[in-house]
Amino acid sequence: MDPFDNHSTERANLPRNMIENSMFEEEPDVVDLAKDSSAFPTFPALDPDEAVYEPRSSRLLVRGLGENDLDEDEEDCESSARLLGMSFMNRSSAHRSNSSPYTRQAPPRSCPRPSARTMVVCVLFLVIVCSMTMTGCRKPNKTSPMETIFPLSTSGELFPWVEYRLPHSISPLSYDLTLNPNLNNMTFTGRSVINMSVLHNTKRIVLHSANLNITKATFKLGDEAARDVTVLEYKPRQQIAVNFLEELKAGQYCVLTLDYSANLSHTYDGFYNSSYTDKDGKKRVLAATQFEPLYARKAFPCFDEPSFKATFLIKISRKPDYMTLSNMPKAKTTQLPNGLMEDEFERTTFNMSTYLVAFIVGDFTSISQNVSDTLVSVYSVPEKKEHTDYALDAGVKLLEFYNNFCEINYPFKKLDLVAIPDFLAGAMENWGLITFRETSLLVGKQSSPLEKQVVASVIAHELAHQWFGNLVTMRWWNDLWLNEGFATYMQYYSLQTVLPNLEIGNLFLAVRFRALDKDALNSSHAVSTEVNSPSQVEEMFDSVSYEKGASILLMLNASLPGEHQFRKGIIQYLKQFSGSNADTNDLWNSLTEVISPQHQNVSEMMRSWTSQKGFPLVTVSRQGDQVTLTQEHFLLTSDYATHTSSLWNIPVTYVNDNCSVAPECRQVFNLMTNLSLWFWVNWYICVCFYIVHYGDEGWTALGDALSENVNVLTPEDRASLIHNIFALSRLGRVSFLQVNNLLNYISNETDTSPVTEALLQLSNIYQLLCKRQEHSLVARMKNYIMHHFGSLMEKQTWGEEESVSNQELRSVLLETACHLKEGNCTQQAKALFKSYVESNGTLRIPGDLQQAVFNVAAQSNEDWETLRDLYSHVTFDAEKRKMLRGLASTQDAWRIVWILHAGLKGDVIQTQELPLVISTVCSGFTGYLFVWDFIQENWDSLIEKFPVGSFAIQSIIKSATSQFSTQAHLDQVTSFFSGLKERGSQMRSVQEALETIRLNQRWMDKNLVVLQNWL
């Protein structure tokens, strides 16, 4: 999935996250079996291989009993247990918080080492590989006495399962799903016929179901006649179960048929209703699905975990004037007696995970083209058909690319790409039926290359998933990066090959910088990390799984001799696990098998990057002819302390000032004989996922070298230097004066990546100063920015521009200039807006300039009203979103209040756009305090629209708090979120917000005086 609603660098800051509302809908009922077991004499025993049994040697705590005498630790432990939906806990347990005693999979942990640093000395060759690896450090399995206490199902009977994960005694083989949606009253009925095989003897079947009213259930064992059975439901874990008096035996086959009814979801997940207004002003309704990660169970009862793969045959009824789509091609249509039509789709030819099932009922039109044996179609609502050509062209090219690259053809006869008018995520890779936000798929006739870049990126990402995720699926959500890291890596890789004119490299570099920024916080997590609750599953959809996952693949590829080895390893992995599931070790083993034995052990190297959070800081120091590299965890903490002893196996490459730009410079090189005044340690084209500190002398030498000649390093390397020195300043390792020394060269800089990175970093500081009301420093910072970038800003033109990187450069420069109210910029923007309005739709503002122009327009009363009018009429979504951001950039308090409430209400402004509105409002001085009040006052409405933990909520929290830098704001934020309890206090993004405020506070304390003296 692409959970992000656009492909700006913001995405690294927009994790999908934690705790699901449904977890708290109902308090778990618990019963102490030790007391009440006589009441349930026939209750089936748990299968020995499925549950944790511990000797009954200690007192059990049952919720509601004996809570008053808990000590502090136990209270913490109990509240954690409640968060996990656990119905029991043990008072003597040493485990706390999220270490559920039900853990099935424990990923490798980082090994504490006695020394935080290690050295690699005497750099003789180009590639220096540190030899430290993280191996064999699993802690001894501590067990503590406990006893299983079964929860009560909704009917009052005991529910026969206590774990979050389903038992593995039953495996689904196929589903026959019949769905009857009613778009008039927004309900549906369904039937799920599940063929299963029994893997281990058992007396129960446990599966998932959420918000479904099961009206009838029958069970059939082998050739026996079908019989009615009772279904038990345990809502807090969204599980249902059927108990049997006789054991089902391993090797037997059985069929469970469940009839049910439900409401179409009014949020953006499950089988949900959606609507839009057509060109005649008429409201049109449709129903679509979004199942990843845990929502298939809201549409049909199923084994809703990625490793329970099965085939699916889907039938959907509809009114004659609607159409339906699903994963597979339509097999037939039947007229039903009630006047409806029923579409039946072919059975899937591959086993697939439930989260990849999809179906849509609506009114769409399409265009199509054949690629090999696959019909690729792009669907949109009828009036937007003219915007689908680009997506079809890009989709066809990319499908051909992946067919060749993977050496496995896309397995289905059709592939649909559908633009859904009301869709929260960016896109979802459902097998054969990829769903998109309209802005992620539709491109206007005159769209700029930058807009095309966004659409092509999302398509490339979702198509990559058809192999990485759909064909080979992670075994469990702890390895989500196998889906998302690969899809992200392949999205950039494929576009560089298939559509090089889109110049995607700058974007990949920028998102890696943002991933580093986030991974530097203590609230980050390992790429492959333990996941034992819905909240933890949600939490995995973040920049660590996506961008860090992609970055370490890029780093691995670059460290291997020749690109073919990496590809060979990937193909081996895909072929070996085609149609099934894999984990991180499976990937590394496949790569190790293929890569020549004389090369490093891939598993050994890569485990240090996937099993521990964060990344290393590599410090370079030199004495005479000897270079020393040391590594430590780059961890941002408000007290400057480094708390971990993590080590990484780091591939290092360097160049020197004699040869630094061409690729061959980065091959074998002898430092002893080529000692230079400065040198640069990095991966070729900055494929590193670490930060390098060159020491005072090193930074000075680099700054001097760049001042003399910008081109001694590649633009990517220069951007990395800028990113690194700002990160080191935040860490407290370099003073801001050193940052300034490096930036002295920037007036000579004209390349997109370094300029963009420098402007981003400086504008972050500008925003902090602004929000601290340091008016004098704000004015001086503006002068500083204009002094360094003014001449480059002036050189920018206002006509059409073809090159993507020039567009990127121009848009960032002009948006900054206009934001700083630079006279020429605002005049040009006003004039362009005036011509645009007067032309009545015939004149078009170049796509990359629209944002700057709309932002300027929104600052005047009259033009803001004009812009609002245009917003309500324009149909092309990319332009519409830029107008919305313009409207939200107003500094007028009443308008800010209006736009926030309009976004929440969802009529004039779609609710899916509220996170964008909030982040834009926060960038202005007037708006950001309003937003904090707005969020506190409307928290309950917000989490009704966007589930607690969703990426939308994450984005909102980040926007609202990331510019605070005072103790008063820290106290306010702490107090508000801690008061929310289960309504959001446990989210990782809350920890991230608090850490960020403390870091801002620390940076301000340290640097305000420096800035006063220096600016």
User: Would you list which residues are annotated within the binding site for Zn(2+)?
Assistant: 461, 465, 484
Asked if 472 is part of the footprint of Zn ion (rule: CB under 5 A), the reply reads no
- Between 170 and 434, whose beta carbon lies closer to Zn ion? 434
DSSP 301: -
Note whether 952 binds Zn ion by CB under 5 A.
no
Give the active site residue among 292, 344, 346, 462.
462
Q: Which stretch binds Zn ion (CB under 5 A): 25-33, 179-187, 359-367, 486-494?
A: 486-494
Please report whether residue 1 would count as binding Zn ion according to CB under 5 A: yes
User: CB 952 → Zn ion: shortest distance, Å?
Assistant: 17
Nearer to Zn ion, 1 or 558 (CB): 1
Q: How far is the CB of 398 from Zn ion (least distance, A)?
A: 14
CB of 490 to Zn ion, least distance (A): 10
Give residue 811's identity as a one-letter amino acid code: S
Number of other CB atoms surrounding residue 802 within 10 Å: 9
Smallest distance from Zn ion to CB 66, Å: 46
- Nearer to Zn ion by Cβ, of 484 and 801: the residue is 484
Q: CB atoms < 10 A from the CB of 892, how many? A: 16
Give the shortest CB-493-to-Zn ion separation in angstroms: 15
Contacts of 110 (CB under 8 A, 6+ apart): 134, 137, 526, 611, 612, 644, 646
What are the strands, taking DSSP E only, across 734-849? none
Q: How far is the CB of 756 from Zn ion (least distance, A)?
A: 25
Q: Of 53, 56, 61, 59, whose CA–CA distance to 88 is shortest?
A: 61
Owner of token pair 């054969």: 432
Check residue 550 for interaction with Zn ion (CB under 5 A): no
Q: Which range binds Zn ion by CB under 5 A, 1-9, 138-146, 411-419, 606-614?
A: 1-9
Does 544 interact with Zn ion (rule: CB under 5 A)?
no
Query: What x/- string results for residues 325 through 364 when contact with Zn ion is judged by CB under 5 A?
Result: ----------------------------------------
Q: Are strands 581-582 and 473-474 parallel, antiparallel or unpaired?
A: parallel
Q: What are phi and psi of 84, to 5 degrees?
A: -80, 0
Q: Is position 527 an interface residue for Zn ion (rule: CB under 5 A)?
A: no
CA angle in degrees (0–180, nearest 5) for 677-678-681: 150
**What 8-state DSSP symbol labels residue 31?**
-
Does position 323 interact with Zn ion (CB under 5 A)? The reply is: no
14 near Zn ion, rule: CB under 5 A: no
Provide the 3-class DSSP secondary structure of residue 438.
Answer: helix
Say if residues 532 and 164 touch (Cβ distance below 8 Å).
Answer: yes
| Gap between the terminal Cα atoms of the chain | 45
Stretch that binds Zn ion, among 358-366, 442-450, 477-485, 961-969 (CB under 5 A): 477-485
2 versus 50: smaller Cβ distance to Zn ion = 2
State the minimum distance, in angstroms, from the CB of residue 486 to Zn ion: 9
How many residues line the site for Zn ion (CB under 5 A)? 4
Q: Among 318-326, 484-492, 732-740, 920-928, which window interacts with Zn ion (CB under 5 A)?
A: 484-492
Is 464 one of the binding residues for Zn ion (CB under 5 A)? no
Ordered DSSP codes for 584-599? HHHHHHHHHHHS-TTS
Residues 912/916/921/923 CA torsion (nearest 10 deg): 160
d(CA 904, CA 907): 9
Binding-site positions: 461, 465, 484
Q: How far apart are CA 753 and CA 61, in angstroms?
A: 58
DSSP state of 107: P
Query: Which is it for strands 341-345 and 330-335: parallel, antiparallel or unpaired?
Result: antiparallel
Verify whether residue 247 is a known catalytic residue: no
Q: What's the closest the beta carbon of residue 479 comes to Zn ion, in angstroms?
A: 14
**CB 488 → Zn ion: shortest distance, Å?**
7
Query: Both tokens of residue 189?
Result: 């009925």
| CA distances (Å), origin 852, targets 190, 263, 825, 909 | 50, 43, 9, 21
Tell whether residue 158 is a contact of Zn ion (CB under 5 A).
Answer: no
Helix axis angle, 480-498 relative to 584-594, nearest 10°? 50
Closest CA to 311 of 415, 199, 411, 417: 411
- Least distance (Å) between residue 2 CB and Zn ion: 5
CA quadruple 319, 325, 327, 328: dihedral positive or negative?
positive
What is the residue-wise DSSP string for 2-30? B-SSS-SGGGGG-------GGGGSSPPPB
Interstrand relation of 341-345 and 311-318 (parallel, antiparallel or unpaired) = antiparallel
- The single-letter code of the amino acid at 623 is Q
Residue from 302, 313, 454, 487 in contact with Zn ion (CB under 5 A)? 487
Q: Could you tell me the CA-to-CA distances from 62 to 75, 159, 547 in Å, in that order?
A: 13, 16, 43
Q: Which is nearer to Zn ion, 461 or 895 (CB)?
A: 461
The answer to whether 482 contacts Zn ion (rule: CB under 5 A) is no
What span, in angstroms and rounded, lies between the C-alpha atoms of 9 and 14?
Answer: 10
Stretch that binds Zn ion, among 285-293, 482-490, 753-761, 769-777 (CB under 5 A): 482-490
CA-CA distance, 60 to 90, in Å (whole number)?
5
Binding site for Zn ion (CB under 5 A): 1-2, 484, 487
Catalytic residues: 462
